[in-house]
Structure 1
Amino acid sequence: MQNLIDAPKQKLRFSDPKVREWLFQIITIVAVVSLGWYLFNNTQTNLQHRGITSGFEFLERSAGFGIAQHLIDYKESDSYARVFVIGLLNTLLVTVIGVVLATLLGFIIGVARLSPNWMINKLATVYVEVFRNIPPLLQILFWYFAVFLSMPGPRNSHHFNDTFFVSSRGLNMPAALAADGFWPFACSVLLALVAVGLMVRWANQRFEATGQLFHKFWAGLGLLLVIPGACALIFGAPLQWEMPELKGFNFVGGWVLIPELLALTLALTVYTAAFIAEIVRSGITSVSHGQTEAARSLGLRPGPTLRKVIIPQALRVIIPPLTSQYLNLAKNSSLAAGIGYPEMVSLFAGTVLNQTGQAIEVIAITMSVYLAISISISLLMNVYNKRIALIER
């Protein structure tokens, strides 16, 4: 006991790695906080000297301008806050559609790049080398001015079965409106999905226990058709269709996809799919050729071998760089300002900024939106990546 009391206390020395680690972290935090406070204080001082008001009260003021496309109800007397929501929804619309279409097209082109057929292989190679080397803004301008705006007017529009009309005003199509049997039909679809999930789980457990296969695809398809179909027969049709009609110089009724949306979505899809195709090709080639030979020795055909053996293993290589392409597509949607599509940058950081003069607030909101979208995509893809990762024992 006396030895413990008489023992000299250990002193903190700068030569200790742990001491230096904590010291540098504290200095970094203090420097970052000080820099942030200086920038904030300097900005506030400059705004006061110039008589510029700051804050987010402008979001409650009336916008006073029209918007070409809005997924929710909007009128010119609505507030800037509603304009922000419309711009956000339009950005998310392009992002979601672009991600889905680019993924499908990219996987098809990537597999085609490895095809033994000379023609298919070379066409896929030309597609990749052409579209990934042209800047996305130029592709957007090409599809907008050279393709969609050069189409005839509504009276001379290209039509398909008098249902879909393509003109310089965009794509007009029938609109689905909820009927009396909509909610029972929606509940029946949810019930069918739950039934399919339980069936697949039962089939997998049965296969592991007995080794007997079950036709999950056909059984699931039957459930998805029979349950909602029976509900529609009992409660009536869930939807009624409003057809577009030409009145005067434009179409009335139905849904319309404006040419700005079509050009932006098509350009981003084609551009991003070229990069996804190369990611898919590299992911497939990373899988050992012995896996293919083992599948053939078991009697699997090329199609099932690709779907059940090669692709599941290649996904572990594909997912990380694929996430980056999704992020690039979401951020490239801001290039819509070049053709006037009403998304976040052109609508909120453009029109609203020019009308209100609240540059700092508007830019901060716009940057926060893109940051939130990017982080959300990253989190979802990371969760999926962990689910398909190999678990070592």
Structure 2
Amino acid sequence: MTPPRASWSSRLKLDEPRGFAIQVGLVLLLCAAAAFIVGNVGANVARLNLRVGFDFLSRPAGFDIAQALIPYPETSTYLRAFWVALLNTVLLGALSIAGATVLGLAVALLRLARNPLLALIALGYIEAVRNIPLLLQLFFWYFAVLGPLPPPRQSLSLFDLVFLNKRGLALPWPVPEPGFVAFIALLAVGLVAFVLLARAARRRRIASGHSARGIWGAALVALVLPFASTVVTGTPIAWDMPRLGGFNIAGGATVIPEFVAMVIGMTIYGSAFIAELIRGGIASVNRGQTEAGMSLGLSQSRIYATIVIPQVFRAVLPPLTGQYITLFKNSSLAAAIGYPDLMLIFAGTALNQTGQPLEIIGITMASYLLINLAIAAVANVANGRMLRRER
């Protein structure tokens, strides 16, 4: 039985005279330090005659951004430039975290492989990547790998669908058709129906020990709905294919080389640390459980998928969250190779043009803080649900 948690007053020792005096003293000391910092900043602002305020956000920025996930016309304001840079940073962090997790899991499994050559290769990969600074790795991918790529007319092609050259990576791009909204709506309905049916089947199986009949048929019907809409409205998505036109690639979507280098570098760098976390988590799983799975006739992949990996992620989720936060903070190095993220666009170009460091640095710091707190909050919710299931 879990013992009851102590109240805040007892934990802070406010019910003791000495503890109360110490806490009050600490609060007063913090207030005095904050007042000193604010007063010092105010005096320096007045002495240097700096402009203070956030009215600059409504002024035209007057500069272009190489990658914009939302429309960014020439008359865009600094606030619009901030949102573009923030979305670029979030996209970079999300793709890097996802890629590092998948690659780290694969490297961890190779690290534990019975084949000594595969295990040695995985160990060498981990040690090499972890002990080379991330900034040097980014320089390697950007200047040494992507820099010498051929011009667009001599692009490296994959089945004439994907083109890689020194200007970036050209990919096919989906274009919504008139039936796209109906397809997405029916797809959402089908997925919700599938989740509800699966939960109902799980409750019935727990209560009676019998699986619900027809759940897969009902789920199939639910998932068929969006595809049936294509018969009425036609294909929901058309593809804009890249093609060589003149001296450049026309059509499709071109990913700038700075983004490609950042995603590759951060994915590989983060995967080395994540691989060691997952390897330690796999080693912590009781060997008797894997032996029990083998005695039931389960394959090695089935044992890892249903027995080992779920327990591993419960064990490594807290340190894995810390690695995710560290990886996202490392995205600020993107300014070193010219990727238009928060550090380059807002804390760099906008700061130099407006001359308002307090506001811009404060907004940038708050943005990173809120995003990292959001990552930690999602991980804490997932960790709490896992703990409740174990109880």
- Scaled by the length of structure 2, the TM-score of the pair is 0.91
Partner of 1:93: 91
After TM superposition, the structure 1 = structure 2 runs for residues 345-360 of structure 1, keeping only pairs within 5 Å, are 345-360=343-358
TM superposition shift of 1:316: 2.2
Q: Answer whether contact 1:203 1:216 (CA < 8 A) is retained.
A: no
Q: In structure 2, what is the Cα distance between the partners aligned to 1:216 and 1:378?
A: 39
The separation in 2 between residues aligned to 1:227 and 1:16, in whole angstroms, is 62
2:387 to 376, 380, 389: 389
Aligned equivalent of 2:194: 196
Tell me by how many angstroms 1:158 deviates: 0.9
* 1:218-266 superposed Cα distances (whole Å, 9 cap, x missing partner): 7698457522211111221111222223333322332111000000011
Question: Structure 1: which 5+ residue stretches go unaligned?
Answer: 1-14
- Are the equivalent residues in 2 in contact too, given 1:99–1:326 (CA < 8 A)? yes
Cα distance, 1:356 vs. partner? 0.9
In 1, are the aligned partners of 2:105 and 2:278 still within 8 Å (CA)?
yes
1:311 aligns with 2:294: no
Q: Give the secondary structure class of the aligned counterpart of 2:49.
A: coil
Correspondence for 1:267:
265
Structure 1 pair 391/243, CA: closer, same or farther in 2 (3 Å)?
Answer: closer
Q: Is the alpha carbon distance of 1:265 and 1:389 closer, same or farther for their aligned partners in structure 2, counting shifts above 3 Å? A: same
Indicate the larger mover: 325-334 or 210-219.
210-219
Aligned partners of 1:145, 1:221: CA distance in 2, in Å?
Answer: 50
Paired residue total: 379
| Aligned pair partner of 2:135 in 119, 134, 137 | 137
Does structure 2 retain, via aligned residues, the 8 Å contact 1:283–1:318?
yes
Match of 1:121 among 114, 119, 123: 119
**Residues 168 and 217 of structure 1: is their aligned pair in 2 closer, same or farther, counting only changes over 3 Å?**
farther
Is the counterpart of residue 326 in structure 1 residue 345 in structure 2?
A: no
Q: Quick one: distance in 1 between partners of 2:19 and 2:198?
A: 52
How far the C-alpha of 1:309 sits from its partner, in A, is 1.4
| Residue 110 to residue 34, structure 1, CA distance change in 2 (3 Å) | same
Amino acid at match of 1:65: F
1:236 and 2:234 matched: yes
Indicate the residue corresponding to 1:58 in structure 2: 56
- 1:35 maps to 2:33: yes
Q: What is the identity, as a one-letter code, of the residue corresponding to 1:61?
A: R
Matches within 5 A, 1:72-111: 72-111=70-109
Deviation, 1:147, is: 1.1
CA drift of 1:273 comes to: 0.5
- Deviation, structure 1 residue 216: 10
SS at match of 2:238: strand
Could you tell me which amino acid in structure 2 is paired with residue 307 of structure 1?
A: A
Shift of the 337–216 alpha-carbon distance from structure 1 to 2, 3 Å rule, reads: farther
> Are residues 16 and 375 of structure 1, via their aligned partners in 2, closer, same or farther at CA, if it must alter by over 3 Å?
closer
- CA displacement at 1:197 relative to structure 2: 0.6
Structure 1 pair 46/205, CA: closer, same or farther in 2 (3 Å)? closer
SS at structure 1 position matched to 2:298: coil
C-alpha deviation, 1:299, in angstroms: 2.8
Aligned letter for 1:105? Answer: L
Q: CA-to-partner distance for each residue in 1:352-371, whole Å, 9 max, x for gaps? A: 11111111111111111111
- The TM-score normalised by the length of structure 1 is 0.91
Separation of aligned partners in 2, 1:216 and 1:147: 54
Deviates more, 1:108-117 or 1:205-214: 205-214
Tell me the alpha carbon deviations over residues 16-39 of structure 1, each in whole angstroms, 9 at most, x when there is no partner.
981122212111112212211221
Following superposition, the deviation at residue 298 of structure 1 comes to 2.8
Larger Rg: 1
Q: 1:51 is matched by which residue type in structure 2?
A: N
Which amino acid letter does the alignment assign opposite residue 76 of structure 1? E
Name the counterpart of 1:7: none
Q: Which amino acid aligns with 1:74?
A: Y
Which 5+ residue runs of structure 2 have no aligned equivalent? 1-12
Provide the rounded CA distance (Å) in 2 between the counterparts of 1:102 and 1:386.
24
Most deviating of 220-229 and 131-140: 220-229
SS of the aligned residue for 2:132 comes to coil
Greater shift, 239-248 or 167-176, is seen at: 239-248
- What does residue 44 of structure 1 align with? 42
